C-alpha cells in the first residue's frame, strides 16, 4: 500500500484489513447485493487470531499497488453487469475518499443468485 502518512505527531499506517472493512461496508450498502458467507477455512483461521472479512480479499503487490477482490451474491432479477460496475464505482470512490488510496483493480465476482421466498 502507499507509504505511511507522515504527520506532525508521527506516522500513520493503514492496514489492509482496514481497506477490507471499508469495502465490505460499502458493498453491503448496495441494494440487492450481499457478501458471500465465511468459509470453513476462514472460520478456522479466525480461531488462531487472524481476522478475515468474508467475501473481500485485499492484495498489495511489490509496487504497493492495491487490488481488491469482492465476492457477492446478487438478488434474482437484478442486472448483473450493471451491479458489478456500480460496485466497482462506489468502492473506488469510498476507498479514495476515506483512506486516500487509488485502487489498481476492483474485481467483482458474482458467486450466486439469491432468490426470494415463494
Q: Which of 75, 88, 100, 113 is nearest to 23 (CA)?
A: 88
Task: Encode the chain (118 residues) as per-residue pLDDT tens digits.
Answer: 655 666 678 888 889 999 999 999 999 999 999 998 765 555 555 566 666 788 999 999 999 899 999 999 999 999 999 999 999 999 999 999 999 999 999 999 999 999 876 5
Give the domain ranges of the chain: 16-114
Q: Which CATH class is domain 16-114?
A: alpha beta
pTM of the model: 0.82
The H or E element containing residue 20 is: helix 16-28
Q: Residue 95 in contact with residue 101, Cβ under 8 Å? A: yes
Q: How far is C-alpha 30 from the chain's CA centre? A: 13
Q: What CA dihedral angle connects 62, 65, 69 and 75, to 10 degrees?
A: 180
Amino acid at each position: 500500500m502507499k507509504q505511511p502518512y507522515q504527520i506532525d505527531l508521527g506516522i500513520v499506517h493503514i492496514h489492509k484489513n482496514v481497506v477490507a472493512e471499508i469495502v465490505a461496508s460499502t458493498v453491503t450498502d448496495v441494494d440487492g447485493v450481499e457478501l458471500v458467507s465465511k468459509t470453513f477455512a476462514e472460520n478456522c483461521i479466525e480461531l488462531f487470531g487472524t481476522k478475515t472479512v468474508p467475501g473481500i480479499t485485499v492484495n498489495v503487490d511489490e509496487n504497493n499497488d492495491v487490488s481488491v477482490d469482492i465476492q457477492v451474491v446478487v438478488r434474482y432479477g437484478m442486472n448483473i453487469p450493471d451491479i458489478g460496475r456500480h460496485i466497482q464505482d462506489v468502492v473506488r470512490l469510498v476507498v479514495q475518499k476515506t483512506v486516500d488510496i487509488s485502487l489498481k483493480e476492483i474485481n467483482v465476482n458474482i458467486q450466486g443468485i439469491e432468490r426470494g421466498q415463494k
